[in-house]
Amino acid sequence: MPSIETTALTKRYGSTTAVDQLNLSVPDGTVYGFLGPNGAGKTTTMRILTGLTTPTSGSATVAGVPVTDRDSLRPHIGYLPEEPPLYEQATAYEQLEYVAGLRDLPSRETQDRIDDLLNRLDLSPNDAATRIAEYSKGMRQKVAYVQAVLHDPDVAFLDEPTSGLDPRAARTIRELIGELTDEGTTVFLSTHILPVVEEVADTVGILYDGKLVAEDTPDQLTQRAETGETRTLEDAFLELTSTDPAEDDTEETYG
């Protein structure tokens, strides 16, 4: 069974269709890069797949669990939203220990994992003992990433995981994503930083107006681009999300 599977998944808000007949099949232990312009329906899709929003029609399973069964789904997934929920007055240690307690994780092993991940992300013990209210955006992002993967989920949904990070920390996140998949976790990755997708994704899906308009490996998608001698995933993205690719040479905003 695929790690993530959707069939005709649809979400409407009144007369607006945010996700339109979406069909996905994501194998275990892979990175699926999920791209699209602002307003394409990416966040809505991720909220459906994490059980936070109910689909209007169609179906979806994550780790074999229907997304409508939130209680059964929760242990299998980790979710890093674009604006992660962190308690301002807690320290990083307190935040992560609280989340570990909610998930009934064993204390000794969990503390070791927290220390290891924070160390990999260059958050010192002194940093981790400081209140989150005093953190920079990048420091908050690091804690949020650890929070999302602390319990070693079957599927990790990461929305802009490198947002606010310096190049060294962003590289570490890319390395950690690779380690997750090596250990069998499936990563569903949404980001506007296309070189990250080119580097880590096994498959890329491009959403436009709520519909999946392309799905292939990064290499195959870049080969579709016909803009000049240099072909990149960005070229393919812009062509596939233009109303008239032959005439539209304006730059899309994507995220």
Locus of tokens 């799905």: 215
- Worst-scoring range by mean pLDDT, 156-160, 205-209, 218-222, 228-232? 228-232
Q: What DSSP assignment string belongs to 151-207?
A: T--SEEEEESTTTT--HHHHHHHHHHHHHHHHTT-EEEEE-S-HHHHHHH-SEEEEE
Task: Tell me the angle at which helices 137-149 and 92-102 cross, rounded to the nearest 10 degrees.
Answer: 20
Q: Is residue 253 part of a domain?
A: no
CB-CB contact of 164 with 135 (8 Å): no
Is residue 218 in some structural domain?
Answer: yes
pLDDT band at 140 (very low <50, low <70, confident <90, very high): very high
Residue 160 belongs to some domain of the structure: yes
Residue showing tokens 């966040």: 43
> For residue 107, which amino acid is it?
S
CA distance 201 to 241: 19
Whole-angstrom distance, CA of residue 165 vs CA of residue 196 = 13
For the stretch 25-42, pLDDT in tens is 999 999 999 999 988 999
pTM: 0.90
**CATH code of residue 117:** 3.40.50.300
Q: Cα separation of 190 and 46, whole Å?
A: 9
pLDDT band at 226 (very low <50, low <70, confident <90, very high): low
Indicate whether 255 pLDDT > 50: no
H or E stretch including 118? Answer: helix 107-120
* Host domain of residue 54: 4-240
Domain membership flag for residue 147: yes
11 located within any domain: yes
Burial track 190-216 (b if 16+ CB lie within 10 A, e otherwise): bbbebebbbebbbbbbbbbbbebebbe
Phi, psi of 66 (to 5 degrees): -60, 135
Do 206 and 218 touch, CB atoms closer than 8 A?
A: no
Structural domain tally of the chain?
Answer: 1
Cα(214)–Cα(62) distance, integer angstroms:
21
Better-scored residue on pLDDT, 232 or 218: 218
- pLDDT at residue 254 above 50? no
Residue 164's alpha-carbon distances to 128, 139, 155, 168, 180, in angstroms, are 18, 8, 23, 12, 21
Residue 10 lies in a domain: yes
Going from the C-alpha of 243 to that of each of 37, 183, 213, 250, the distances in angstroms are: 12, 40, 12, 11
What is the mean pLDDT of the segment spanning 150-159?
96
Q: 229 vs 79, which has greater pLDDT?
A: 79
Burial of 41 (0-12, 13-18, 19+ CB in 10 A): buried
229 vs 21, residue with greater confidence: 21
The whole-number pLDDT of residue 243 equals 59
Integer distance in angstroms from the first to the last C-alpha of the chain?
Answer: 30
- pLDDT tens column, 190-218: 988 888 898 999 999 999 999 999 999 98
Range scoring the smallest mean pLDDT among 26-30, 43-47, 123-127, 242-246: 242-246
Does pLDDT of 240 surpass 50? yes
Between 248 and 69, name the one with better pLDDT.
69
**Mean pLDDT across 162-176:** 94
Q: Which tens digits make up the pLDDT trace of 63-100?
A: 999 999 999 999 999 999 988 889 999 999 999 999 99
Quote the CA–CA distance of 24 and 5 in Å, as a whole number: 5
Residue 245 lies in a domain: no
24 pairs with which residues across the strands? 6
Q: What pLDDT is recorded for position 223?
A: 77
Q: Is residue 248 part of a domain?
A: no
